[in-house]
Amino acid sequence: MLFTVHANDTILDLKTRFADLFPGLKLEFFSGHHESGEGSPQKEKLVGTIVIKDIRPDLGEVRFIIDSHLTVSELEKKFFDEAGLNIQVFRKMGAIWLETVQTDSYTLQQQMEMSAESRT
């Protein structure tokens, strides 16, 4: 699937687009970078009303392919390399959202399946 990041998008726009494509998963955006398998401090979490051009003034429009066979760490790296954005993937487990730090090597498909199983 083609995923587009526009300079005039808000963080909430991107989060909504992603959640529509990958049920049971969500993105959170952070001001600081992290390595694979690491979490991001909550104090660095960015609010949804922030416009992308305010954190990446040099970014016009970026398009890249996201599919369910990407691992979480590949997706996080793609957002950083292609758009300069620091993201973390979260998986809904029952009624709570878990940061997927321990399962960064799992594909988005595996993450969605785990989420769905937790709600049945």
Q: Tell me how many domains the chain contains.
A: 1
Task: Please give the model's pTM, rounded to 2 decimal places.
Answer: 0.89
Q: Identify the pLDDT of residue 34.
A: 60
The pLDDT, as a whole number, for residue 32 is 77
- What is the CB neighbour count within 10 angstroms for residue 20? 8
The domain of 48 spans: 2-118
pLDDT in tens, 14-33: 999 999 999 999 999 999 76
**Parallel, antiparallel, or unpaired for β 86-93 and 96-99?**
antiparallel
